[in-house]
A and B are shown apart, each in its own frame.
Chain A
C-alpha cells in the first residue's frame, strides 16, 4: 500500500504544478502590457499592491432599480488600509465606488461617485450614487442647465440619481449637490466636474 499512496501524492503534486504553471502564464506583465500611454514618467511593468476591501465590514445601504431594469446595491465597507468605502454592485458582477481617508464624511457631508456607460462623447447611462452624513436631511442635485432635482434619501440616507435619456442626449449632466440640515438650512454645496 506504501507505493500506491506515494504514487497518488506524486500525481497530485504533478497536477498541481501543471495548474500553477497554467495559472501563471499570463501573469507576466510583458504579456499583459501594463504600460503607460501618455506618461512623461518612464514606468512600466511595475508590480504593486492594490486596495483590499474587508468584506466582514460590509453593510448594505439598500437596493435601487435603474431605468433599464438593472438593480444596484449600495454598500459601505472598510479597506484594509483603514479607508472607508462606498461601493455599488449590480447583478452582473460589475461594481465600483470610492474609498476615502478619515471616514466617508471627513471631507464633505456626503460621499458619492458618478457611474456611466458609453462615452466619452455620449453616455448611454449615468447615475450618481451616494450617502449623506447624519446631519443632512435633504439633498438637491444641480444640473449643468441650471435645473435642480430634490433627491429622496432612504432610511440609511442613501440615494441614487439617474440622468434622463433626454438630458444625456442634450449633454446635460449633474454638477453639484446641495446639502440641507433638518431645519432646511443649506449646510454645504459640493461641486464636481460635469461627466462630459
Chain B
C-alpha cells in the first residue's frame, strides 16, 4: 500500500509539474507587426488582472529607430521604462502589480515596428 501511495504521489507531482512548466508565458501583439509610428505616436495594451499578468514589454523595430517601452499603473505612473534603438525590451520590478503596456516613438523620425507583451497566468478566484 505504501508503494502504491509513493508511486501515485510521484506520478501526480511529476505530471503536474510538467503540465504547468510546459505552459510558458504567452506573447500577444498590441500593435500589428509593421505598424507605422510617427513622431510622438504610442500604443498601449489593456490593464492586466489577478488571473494574468504582463511580465515583459517588447518593441520590435530597426536598429536605427529610437523608441521606448514602459509599464503604466492605474494612476498613470510609469515604471521600468526603457529607451533605445533596435528591439527594446523591459521586464517589471513587480510582476504582480496592476499595469498596462505602452510603446512609443519618442524620436523625430517615422518608422515601422511592432509592440508585444508577454503574459503569465496566475491562480485567481
Which residues in A have some Cβ–Cβ distance to B below 8 Å?
A: 4-5, 7-9, 11-13, 15-17, 19-20, 22-27, 29, 31-39, 41, 43, 45-51, 79, 83, 87, 90, 92-102, 106-108, 112-120, 192-193, 195
Residues 1-51 of B contacting A (Cβ, < 8 Å): 4, 7-8, 11-12, 14-16, 18-20, 23, 26-33, 35, 41-49, 51
Count of A-B contacts judged by CB separation below 8 Å? 219
Tell me the smallest distance from the CB of A25 to a CB of chain B, in Å.
6
- State whether B31 touches A26 (Cβ < 8 A): no
Q: Which residues of A contact B56 (CB under 8 A)?
A: 50
Question: Is B87 part of the contact surface with A, judged by Cβ < 8 Å?
Answer: yes
Q: Are A92 and B93 in contact (CB under 8 A)?
A: yes
B residues with a Cβ closer than 8 A to A are 4, 7-8, 11-12, 14-16, 18-20, 23, 26-33, 35, 41-49, 51-52, 54, 56, 58, 60, 62-64, 66, 69-70, 77-95, 106-108, 114, 116-119, 121-124
Out of A35, A100, A112, A195, name the residue touching B63 (CB < 8 Å). Answer: A100
Note all chain A residues with C-beta closer than 8 A to B124.
25-26
